[in-house]
Protein backbone atom coordinates (compact mmCIF):
# COMPACT_ATOMS: atom_id res chain seq x y z
CA UNK A 1 0.00 0.00 0.00
CA UNK A 2 1.25 3.48 -0.87
CA UNK A 3 0.10 6.36 1.32
CA UNK A 4 -0.61 9.37 -0.84
CA UNK A 5 -1.64 11.31 2.25
CA UNK A 6 0.72 10.47 5.10
CA UNK A 7 -0.27 10.21 8.76
CA UNK A 8 1.15 13.63 9.67
CA UNK A 9 -0.72 15.17 6.77
CA UNK A 10 -3.95 13.55 7.91
CA UNK A 11 -3.37 15.01 11.38
CA UNK A 12 -2.63 18.45 9.92
CA UNK A 13 -5.83 18.31 7.88
CA UNK A 14 -7.80 17.46 11.01
CA UNK A 15 -6.24 20.39 12.85
CA UNK A 16 -6.97 22.75 9.95
CA UNK A 17 -10.61 21.64 9.74
CA UNK A 18 -10.82 22.21 13.49
CA UNK A 19 -9.57 25.77 13.02
CA UNK A 20 -12.06 26.21 10.16
CA UNK A 21 -14.86 25.12 12.52
CA UNK A 22 -13.96 27.95 14.91
CA UNK A 23 -13.01 30.48 12.22
CA UNK A 24 -14.00 33.98 13.27
CA UNK A 25 -14.37 33.05 16.96
CA UNK A 26 -10.80 33.78 18.04
CA UNK A 27 -7.76 31.54 18.33
CA UNK A 28 -7.86 27.88 19.33
CA UNK A 29 -5.20 26.40 21.58
CA UNK A 30 -3.12 23.60 20.13
CA UNK A 31 -3.95 21.47 23.14
CA UNK A 32 -7.71 21.88 22.59
CA UNK A 33 -7.53 21.22 18.85
CA UNK A 34 -5.26 18.19 19.37
CA UNK A 35 -7.61 16.73 21.95
CA UNK A 36 -10.72 17.28 19.81
CA UNK A 37 -9.09 15.77 16.74
CA UNK A 38 -7.25 12.87 18.37
CA UNK A 39 -3.80 14.19 17.43
CA UNK A 40 -0.89 13.64 19.84
CA UNK A 41 -0.18 17.03 21.45
CA UNK A 42 3.59 17.15 20.76
CA UNK A 43 3.02 16.28 17.12
CA UNK A 44 0.22 18.86 16.88
CA UNK A 45 2.68 21.52 18.10
CA UNK A 46 5.16 20.61 15.36
CA UNK A 47 2.48 20.55 12.69
CA UNK A 48 1.11 23.93 13.76
CA UNK A 49 4.62 25.37 13.53
CA UNK A 50 4.92 24.16 9.93
CA UNK A 51 1.47 25.50 9.09
CA UNK A 52 2.38 28.82 10.70
CA UNK A 53 5.65 29.06 8.79
CA UNK A 54 3.72 28.64 5.54
CA UNK A 55 1.22 31.31 6.69
CA UNK A 56 -1.73 28.92 6.54
CA UNK A 57 -2.30 29.70 10.21
CA UNK A 58 -1.50 32.68 12.39
CA UNK A 59 -0.76 32.64 16.08
CA UNK A 60 -1.51 34.83 19.05
CA UNK A 61 0.48 34.59 22.26
CA UNK A 62 -0.85 34.83 25.78
CA UNK A 63 -3.43 33.17 28.01
CA UNK A 64 -6.17 33.58 25.39
CA UNK A 65 -3.79 32.81 22.55
CA UNK A 66 -3.63 30.00 20.09
CA UNK A 67 -3.95 29.53 16.36
CA UNK A 68 -6.43 30.66 13.75
CA UNK A 69 -6.56 30.30 10.00
CA UNK A 70 -4.42 32.66 8.00
CA UNK A 71 -7.20 33.08 5.43
CA UNK A 72 -10.86 32.25 5.07
CA UNK A 73 -11.51 28.46 4.96
CA UNK A 74 -12.85 28.83 1.42
CA UNK A 75 -9.46 30.21 0.35
CA UNK A 76 -7.24 27.38 1.68
CA UNK A 77 -6.91 24.33 -0.53
CA UNK A 78 -6.27 20.78 0.46
CA UNK A 79 -3.19 20.85 -1.78
CA UNK A 80 -1.66 23.73 0.20
CA UNK A 81 -1.95 21.76 3.44
CA UNK A 82 -0.67 18.52 1.91
CA UNK A 83 2.35 20.20 0.31
CA UNK A 84 3.14 22.18 3.47
CA UNK A 85 3.41 18.99 5.50
CA UNK A 86 4.82 16.45 3.07
CA UNK A 87 6.30 18.51 0.24
CA UNK A 88 5.44 18.69 -3.45
CA UNK A 89 3.06 16.07 -4.76
CA UNK A 90 4.83 13.71 -7.11
CA UNK A 91 3.30 10.52 -8.44
CA UNK A 92 6.76 9.29 -9.41
CA UNK A 93 10.32 10.44 -8.85
CA UNK A 94 10.77 10.99 -12.58
CA UNK A 95 8.33 13.90 -12.41
CA UNK A 96 10.20 15.84 -9.72
CA UNK A 97 12.53 17.62 -12.13
CA UNK A 98 13.17 17.91 -15.86
CA UNK A 99 16.41 15.93 -15.53
CA UNK A 100 15.25 13.43 -12.88
CA UNK A 101 15.39 10.46 -15.24
CA UNK A 102 17.58 9.84 -18.25
CA UNK A 103 14.81 7.77 -19.88
CA UNK A 104 12.13 10.45 -19.69
CA UNK A 105 12.16 11.24 -23.43
CA UNK A 106 11.38 7.67 -24.51
CA UNK A 107 9.29 6.47 -21.56
CA UNK A 108 5.69 5.57 -22.34
CA UNK A 109 4.67 5.61 -18.68
CA UNK A 110 5.97 9.10 -17.95
CA UNK A 111 3.35 10.86 -20.07
CA UNK A 112 0.47 9.08 -18.34
CA UNK A 113 2.01 9.57 -14.91
CA UNK A 114 2.36 13.28 -15.66
CA UNK A 115 -1.33 13.41 -16.63
CA UNK A 116 -2.27 11.66 -13.40
CA UNK A 117 -0.10 14.04 -11.37
CA UNK A 118 -1.75 17.04 -13.05
CA UNK A 119 -5.19 15.59 -12.30
CA UNK A 120 -4.34 14.95 -8.62
CA UNK A 121 -2.92 18.46 -8.14
CA UNK A 122 -5.95 20.07 -9.79
CA UNK A 123 -8.32 17.94 -7.75
CA UNK A 124 -6.60 18.87 -4.48
CA UNK A 125 -6.54 22.55 -5.50
CA UNK A 126 -10.33 22.52 -5.90
CA UNK A 127 -11.04 21.12 -2.42
CA UNK A 128 -11.08 23.77 0.30
CA UNK A 129 -11.15 23.57 4.07
CA UNK A 130 -14.66 24.98 3.91
CA UNK A 131 -15.74 22.02 1.79
CA UNK A 132 -14.08 19.53 4.15
CA UNK A 133 -15.79 21.19 7.09
CA UNK A 134 -19.23 21.03 5.51
CA UNK A 135 -18.80 17.47 4.25
CA UNK A 136 -18.09 16.41 7.82
CA UNK A 137 -21.18 18.21 9.12
CA UNK A 138 -23.48 16.57 6.59
CA UNK A 139 -22.64 13.15 8.05
CA UNK A 140 -23.39 14.18 11.65
Q: What's the pLDDT tens digit per position in 15-40?
A: 999 999 999 999 999 999 999 999 99
Return all residues near 39 (Cβ < 8 A) that are at least 6 apart. Answer: 11, 14, 15, 33, 47
Q: What is the pLDDT at residue 97?
A: 67
Instruction: Locate the domains of the chain by residue range.
Output: 7-139
Q: What is the pLDDT at residue 89?
A: 81
Return all residues near 127 (Cβ < 8 A) that are at least 6 apart. Answer: 77, 78, 79
CATH code of the region 7-139: 1.10.10.10
Q: Which is nearest to 10 in space by CA: 135, 132, 107?
A: 132
Flag whether pLDDT at 139 surpasses 70: no
- Rounded mean pLDDT of 118-135? 93
Amino acid sequence: MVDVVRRNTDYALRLMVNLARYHGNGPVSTRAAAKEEGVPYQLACKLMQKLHKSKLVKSRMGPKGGFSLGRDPSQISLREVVETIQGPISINRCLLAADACKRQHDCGARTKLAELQHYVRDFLDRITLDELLHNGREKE
